[in-house]
Amino acid sequence: MQEWQYSGGIILAKLFEPHLPQWRVVLGAAVQTAPLYDGAGRYRSQAGPVINIRYSDLAFASLGEGIGVNVLRGDHFRVGFSVGYDLGRRVSDDSVHLHGLGDIDRAPVVRLFGDFVLSKRFPLVVRTDVRRILGASNGLVGDVEGYLPLPGSSKKLVMFAGPSITFADRRYQQSLFGVTPGQALASGYPVYVAHAGENALGFGFSATRFVSSHWLVNVDAAVNRLLGSAGETPIARTTLQGVVAVSFAYDW
């Protein structure tokens, strides 16, 4: 998913409905179909919970954003940080194409982010974030994104769409897409040195339909094209990948 899709519309809710309840809780279940890893040609479907808890416009806890605090906040902006986790990559995900490359373990992630709404008349949301993975790939990843409510949106059907570009430092790129001499001997891939820079260009779409005053169905879809070292690595089976997630939840 694009990073904005995990919190899409949150800052707009405050702008257009300033008297939101102090607590907002959304719980449910979801099914997601996604690539086995960045650059994989094969996909996997998985089911899991939906957890999204927010206290006023101050704190939040969700599976997508992690646990965080909005340190600076206003009608048109929010700036904060959160702590989450990175899923890493395991050779067992695709033992044929990842053989000899070794596992990338799960690791904590610290994220700094900022959202800004251009205006109430033209509600374009511009978002930037920087994520530091503590251990495993031990790198820095950042995004510059934007999204808008789509024509046809209403209180019963809310739709957003927008692009994203991702950058990463050398450590992250080398960990996920590079091939060391030792890995080359074990895997058969040629030695490949990855460099810092552009990582991916993407586009996301999100739609939420309220089937009653509390029950809702959400569909998220995203497509990404790997760029730079990520797109040129011999590990990648493809540079174009997509993700689709469907969730059914109850809004308390």
- Reading the block at residue 163, the tokens are 């692009």
Give the pLDDT confidence score for residue 16 in this predicted structure: 85
The percentage of the chain sitting over the pLDDT mark of 90, rounded to a whole number, equals 90
Q: How confident is the model at residue 135 (pLDDT cuts 50, 70, 90)?
A: confident
Residue 137's pLDDT is 81
80/68 Cα distance (integer angstroms): 7
**Do residues 192 and 174 make contact, with C-beta atoms less than 8 angstroms apart?**
no
Q: Residue 228 has what pLDDT?
A: 96
**E strands along 43-134, which residues?**
43-55, 59-62, 66-73, 77-86, 107-117, 125-133
Mean pLDDT to the nearest integer, 149-167: 96
Q: Pick the residue with more confidence: 82 or 137? A: 82
Inform me whether the pLDDT recorded for 18 exceeds 80: no
What per-residue confidence (pLDDT) applies to 31? 98
The overall average pLDDT reported for the chain is 95
Confidence of residue 13 (pLDDT cuts 50, 70, 90): confident
How does pLDDT run across 62-110, given as a tens digit for each residue?
999 999 999 999 989 999 999 999 989 999 999 999 999 999 999 999 9
pLDDT value of residue 133: 95
242 has a pLDDT exceeding 80: yes
The answer to whether residue 212 scores a pLDDT higher than 80 is yes
Give percent of the chain above pLDDT 70. 100
Of the CATH numbers 2.40.30.10, 3.30.70.260, 3.30.1330.200, 2.40.160.40, which one belongs to the domain with range 3-251?
2.40.160.40
Q: What is the pLDDT of residue 208?
A: 97
pLDDT for residue 50: 96
Label residues 210-248 b or e (16+ Cβ within 10 Å = b). Answer: eeeeeebebebbbbbebbbbbbebbbbbebebebbbebe
Domain ranges for the chain: 3-251
Whole-prediction pTM: 0.93
Q: How many residues does the chain have?
A: 252
pLDDT by residue (tens digit) across 19-35? 888 999 999 999 999 99
Average pLDDT score over residue span 227-246: 97
